[in-house]
Chain A
């Protein structure tokens, strides 16, 4: 009897906490759908919903361009990082070669260095390369993710080595084995990494803010923070912009949820 009561109380507590956790996002959705003048008149949803905020967003601001920029940069970055990181992860997992141990240590060490240390010289280097204010500055320095290398190394370790040997006997090339045997086998990790890399680039702010100067190249985080300064009083439009900015990640997460949780945690639990 008392155990059931305690469980009931705990359940109610969790349910209330979960409700509080969801409140900001629910409010965001409600706020985007209110007429601008109704924003603070109703706590959540307004009885007369309006799309005015979204209309303002696409007419007063070049929101579509920023959105497309973000989609382009994030997708390109995901493809590049996925390819190079999984390739290196495969090398660490299934080959023996001289310097492998030292290389692994080096990779681990780079994860401990905060990016802010190399910010200034990297900026200078890109300036000399003429890459400031181009997407090369976003895509090239981060083309290989060390975190990704370790995720793929972990996943590829469990691919049977006999499978790789058999393919080799059948005359498959080394790259062919990676492409046709290994990658299809570690598909869940591909899903997890796609989401992690996409989120990383999509939400990235400090670096793009430093290297991108022209408004027509801005990604969503930069554009939105600029809008906050310019359209201070148009909360409704800002909320609509925020909603559309977080929607792609949420959709991708719902699609890749299972793989994501597996990938996110595999390193920590075993490590």
Chain B
């Protein structure tokens, strides 16, 4: 009798053990299958496609590196690169410091109504790019639009300032809109970073006679390093992929004198509106490689792959 019992429990244990071995593979299987079909295969295919000119999925002609040659000689492509770079620069330079400033103030215990303020700054982030675009295309209307009225009353700018029709003003309008949309996102991340800094560090600094500026420089900023580097990378990636905001604000197009043409808009116009998926793939690969290089340079400059200095 006891012998039979151990045999049964051993068999059960054996089966359990096998289930435990197999389960993780089953659990990650959906990811692996989808990655193979919609990740690895398209990635390889898009590399091949970038060597072809296509006219819809049926009509395909091999052209070697001609797509890339054409792209690099197309002034519109360079215009798109320049616009994207300018937008990325201003996004980073304005949004991260503004988010940092807001987070520092809204983390102070003396600040009354902190939670309400946080909500006010964060809520624009919930609105999708398309909806922001529709809303701001009306806010930027000349003569009657709220933005011109407000800026006219405060700073006396002309009421008929045509933000979205003047090539010189399109980029400032996009940068302003994006600042409104994204500053709360940076603020929320930096707030969480601030709350994870150990309080002892401040006490130690205080004992050493550090003033608030020295505390900020030697305790707060080093403590936020990881969050700030993360935000730098995230906003670079996001800015490089800018599409919806200018597309909608400029009436489904690149805007006057292509002043709102971005790399992704260029890809969309050439690939899907003109129907050349091969060319779209070439632009896509160029975008991905450009983004990789810029991210690596940023990581290098911020020293993110060195161990944390303590």
Q: Please list the residues of chain A having a beta carbon within 8 angstroms of any beta carbon in chain B.
A: 7, 10-11, 14-15, 17-19, 21-25, 27-28, 31, 39-40, 43, 84, 87-88, 90-92, 95, 97, 100, 103, 106-107, 110, 112-125, 127-128, 140-141, 143-144, 146, 149, 168, 173-175, 178, 199, 202-206, 210, 221, 224-225, 228-229, 235, 238-239, 241-242, 245-246, 249-250, 253, 261, 264-265, 268-269, 271
Contacts and interface: CB of A to CB of B under 8 A. Distances in A.
Given A14-B111, A22-B123, A178-B27, 20 more contacts: A11-B111, A17-B102, A21-B180, A24-B135, A88-B27, A91-B24, A91-B27, A114-B284, A117-B42, A117-B43, A118-B43, A119-B280, A122-B42, A125-B41, A144-B31, A144-B35, A206-B243, A206-B264, A228-B134, A228-B248
A140 B143 CA distance: 46
B120 A21 contact: yes
B124 A25 contact: yes
A117 B124 contact: no
B285 interface: yes
Chain A binding surface, main DSSP class = helix
B28 A88 contact: yes
Nearest to A106: B35
A25 B241 CA distance: 25
Interface of B: 16, 19-21, 23-25, 27-28, 30-32, 34-35, 37-39, 41-43, 45-46, 49, 57, 102, 105-106, 110-113, 116-117, 120-121, 123-124, 126-131, 133-139, 141, 143-144, 146, 149, 180, 183-184, 188-189, 191-193, 196, 226-227, 230-231, 237, 240-241, 243-244, 247-248, 251-252, 264, 267-268, 271-272, 277-278, 280-281, 283-285, 287-288, 291-292, 295
Given A40-B144, A250-B123, A116 B267 contact: yes
A268 B287 CA distance: 25
Contacts of A140: 34, 38
Contacts of B278: 120
A249 B116 CA distance: 18
B129 A27 contact: no
Given A14-B111, A206-B268, A124 B45 contact: yes
A118 B128 contact: no
Contact of B192 (A23, A235, A253, A261): A261
Contacts of B133: 225
Nearest to A270: B196
B200 to A, nearest CB: 18
Nearest to B106: A14
B23 A114 contact: no
Nearest to A118: B42
B277 A10 contact: no
Given A174-B23, A265-B189, A229 B117 contact: no
A118 B191 CA distance: 35
Contacts, number: 255
Given A141-B38, A143-B30, A264-B189, A114 B127 contact: no
A10 B105 contact: yes
B38 A95 contact: no
B227 to A, nearest CB: 6
23 contacts: A14-B105, A21-B180, A24-B124, A90-B27, A95-B20, A97-B25, A103-B32, A110-B35, A112-B291, A117-B281, A118-B42, A120-B42, A120-B278, A123-B57, A140-B38, A205-B244, A225-B134, A228-B252, A239-B138, A246-B128, A265-B189, A269-B196, A271-B230
